[in-house]
Structure 1
Amino acid sequence: MRLQKMDIEKILFLDIETVPEVYAFSELDEKTADLYTKKTKFFQKDGLTAEDVYERAGVYAEFGKIVCISCGIVQEKNTGKTIRMKSFANHDEHKLLLDFAEMLMAYYNTPNHALCGHNAKEFDFPFIARRMLINGIDIPDILDIAGKKPWEVNLLDTMELWKFGDYKHYTSIALLCHIFNVPTPKDDISGADVARVYYEEDDLERIKVYCEKDVIALIQLFLKFRNEGLVKEENIG
């Protein structure tokens, strides 16, 4: 279905923030450390060790965990479009994922609903599903793509949409927002800071704010892909 014909109110836009399950390589038990060493062998070049590349642990569902899922929806009103936000941020990953799964099963459980993220088919969606399985949580139908035909999978990805069938290049959301003149507020942290803020500062609120800003940028970019105007800042909340 063409983007312009999709009911945007039935799309849940999301982004996740992940961190290593433990902050330092030295905290891993011997077996896990050995498996991480094998998992990251490709990155251990020029004298680097598994400990040197441990900052990558947060991108692997086997060695990382989710600390925040931020979601946004677009509502069409007489006064224009509005964005409504909801975040799941918790030190208890099981509780975070259970709450998120219950929301999906309650409100995003028909063939007309869809999820959307940036590079989400490669990262966010599979990471969430894998961590749900690790935590013993049933995967909501919208995320459970096993056995589904391609046209039955209701997962959208703005990076994939931008590729138009070209599989060669990764394009960051920051670059797309720049070329489409989508405002991206300056923030005091980046993705590389999330683990430090989580473990050293114990500041989930700061991580949540950062994650929500990414979702807002994602929604605005999606609107640009539909050749529609941006949502005004006063209509975001």
Structure 2
Amino acid sequence: MVDQIDITKVLFLDIETVSGAPDYAALNENMQHLWSYKAPSALKRYGEELTEEELAASYTDKAGIFAEFGKIVCISVGAVYRDRDKRLKIRLKSFANRDEATLLREFSEMIDQYYGDVNRYYICGHNIKEFDVPYICRRIVIHQLPMPALLDISGKKPWETKHLVDTMELWKFGDRKSYVSLKLLAAVLGFPSPKDDIDGSDVGRVFWEEDDVERIAVYCEKDVLATAQLFLKYQRKPAFADDQVVFVER
């Protein structure tokens, strides 16, 4: 299937998330109580009762991966186009904002304006079906914003969501047992690693302690570029060279 997709019809996407509050102590009593139920499964310590210290540490480490306890601080996208010489280029842009509702609204408006036809366009990401898309959709509902057409997938059958292309799923070839990182596939398939500054475990600290949304956006865009490079590998096509990558100023 991937060989038949026109890459200029694909929007590559990645998100970065953090905990919804700076730390466990900043949560109200009800949310602290609810986290005490969630934390044991997040730590794979099912049925255990955690101490306050363990709850606080687990919130810092794990809350950001759950849409109910975290929030999105950056959505980066990559759009591929052909220049005047018919050469492929990829334009990278980030929706990064301390206010999640603003970020989601701007992203959703862009999606509907340029990628509104589910029969013509695709969204592609690494582990996008298990993480990025559900997370975005849940946060859109939480903020009571309109759902973009390409993300309006609740209750849809698998054959109705063929516009969602997951590069991790493509690598599985029917194997459902394990997660394969984008960084590992970059090493195996020989394209530049997406991460050379911070990693996922640093994003919360960079946001809450350093207040550096720009740094997070740069990190997120590298993931998007790596996903596009992986997509080209699946199509047996050359990777993007440095002069084929365009960064949109924020």
Pair in the same fold by TM > 0.5: yes
Question: Mapping of 1:51-66 within 5 angstroms?
Answer: 51-54=56-59, 55-66=61-72
Question: Mapping of 1:85-96 within 5 angstroms?
Answer: 85-96=92-103
**Is the 8 Å Cα contact of residues 44 and 50 (structure 1) preserved in structure 2?**
no
Work out the CA distance in 2 between the residues paired with 1:162 and 1:169: 11
Partner of residue 4, structure 2:
5
Matched, 1:70 2:70: no
- Of 70, 88, 99, 2:106 maps to 99
* Cα displacement (A) at 1:191: 1.0
Partner of residue 184, structure 1:
193
Matched, 1:143 2:151: yes
Question: Mapping of 1:149-164 within 5 angstroms?
Answer: 149-153=157-161, 154-164=163-173
Deviation readout 1:54-90 (Å, 9 max, x if unpaired) = 1100000000000000000111343521110111000
Matched, 1:193 2:193: no
Partner of residue 50, structure 1:
55
Work out the CA distance in 1 between the residues paired with 2:224 and 2:112: 21
**TM-score, normalised via structure 1 length:** 0.95
Work out the CA distance in 1 between the residues paired with 2:94 and 2:101: 15
- Of 209, 233, 243, 1:224 maps to 233
Work out the CA distance in 1 between the residues paired with 2:30 and 2:114: 41
Work out the CA distance in 2 between the residues paired with 1:36 and 1:221: 36
- Structure 2 counterpart of 1:210, one-letter code: Y
Partner of residue 139, structure 2:
131
Contiguous gaps of at least 5 residues in structure 2? none
**TM-score, normalised via structure 2 length:** 0.90
Contiguous gaps of at least 5 residues in structure 1? none
* Cα displacement (A) at 1:50: 1.8
Identity %: 49
Taking only aligned residues, the RMSD between alpha carbons, in angstroms, comes to 1.5
**Is the 8 Å Cα contact of residues 194 and 223 (structure 2) preserved in structure 1?**
no
Work out the CA distance in 1 between the residues paired with 2:164 and 2:194: 27
Partner of residue 172, structure 1:
181
**Is the 8 Å Cα contact of residues 20 and 57 (structure 1) preserved in structure 2?**
yes
* Cα displacement (A) at 1:92: 0.8
Judge which range, 18-27 or 140-149, deviates more: 140-149
Partner of residue 221, structure 2:
212
Work out the CA distance in 2 between the residues paired with 1:86 and 1:127: 19
Q: Residues 44, 174 of structure 1: CA spacing in aligned structure 2 closer, same or farther, 3 A cutoff? A: closer
* Cα displacement (A) at 1:5: 1.3
Partner of residue 27, structure 2:
28
More helix by share: 2
- Structure 2 counterpart of 1:16, one-letter code: I
